[in-house]
Amino acid sequence: MQEFFTFLLAEWMLSATFLVLLLMLLWGVAAPSVRGFAELKPAEIVKLINNDDTLVLDVRSENEFIDGHIVNAINIPLTYLVKRIDELGDDKERQIVVTCKSGARAKGACSTLKKEGFTNVCALAGGLMAWQHDKYPVAKGKSKRG
């Protein structure tokens, strides 16, 4: 055991790098259960969207939304989400897919929705950039729903 600690001290940079990588790996595995929502790839999102009851929520700005969004998505910018939460309806168990440009704002929105009592939320991993990269269709213009 003494040799192990001697090695850790002598090779502190290697030890620190290993520890950081280990923590990143553990966080990647544990994060969905800790956060309470999943990040799904575009192909998985398509399966959810094909269920008529799934709501797609785009949390980008209105101008970003108008330039291109997932078909039938509604737009509530992240900064207004709490104020406009009632636009999502009363069914707190409804499947909600949250998207943005790259996925970062969607994760924040998912956390907010979970705090507001919504139980079935997920984020589009990689956001609309991943969606378009995988050649899925986008619509332009304002939302027709919500």
Catalytic residue ranges: 100
Among 35, 32, 88, 31, CA closest to 58:
88
Residue 28, token pair as written in the block:
């990647």
Three-state SS string across 76-114, please? CCHHHCCCCHHHHCCCCCCCEEEECCCCHHHHHHHHHHH
How many Å is the Cα radius of gyration of the chain?
Answer: 19
Among 89, 103, 136, CA closest to 37:
103
Q: How many Å apart are CA 7 and CA 68, to the nearest integer?
A: 55
CB 126 within 8 A of CB 133: yes
